[in-house]
Amino acid sequence: MQYVRYVKSEGYNADTELPFEIRYNFSKLIAWWEQQLTEPGSFEADRAAEVLKRVASNPILSQTFSDPAILEKNKEDIYF
């Protein structure tokens, strides 16, 4: 999985219209957590169970979406 570099710019804000649509998708990350849950001897198995429980209770997190308000609304389940 690639990482996105964050650059702060005073020229752009929440009202700036971009020539493309940003889409959020956690499918690769969810697949990694599913692998950690089933992998023997995984140090992340307990955390994986918690992550997958939170994803199951918020199905929107397993779908592709473009509204950044969804990130804000579900931030407790994303950043725990």
Residue 55, domain member (yes or no): yes
Half-sphere exposure of 43 (CA within 13 A, CB side): 0
Give per-residue burial for 55-68: e unless 16+ CB within 10 Å, then b. Answer: beebeebeeeeeee
Residue 8, domain member (yes or no): no
| Count of structural domains, the chain | 1
Q: Residue 51: which domain range?
A: 27-78
Task: Quick: pLDDT tens for 5-53.
Answer: 666 677 777 777 878 888 999 999 999 999 999 999 889 999 999 999 9
DSSP letter at 60 equals: G
Residue 66, domain member (yes or no): yes
Residue 21, domain member (yes or no): no
Residue 17, domain member (yes or no): no
Q: In the prediction, which pLDDT does 7 show?
A: 63
What is the rounded CA–CA span in Å between residue 16 and residue 18?
6
Residue 33, domain member (yes or no): yes
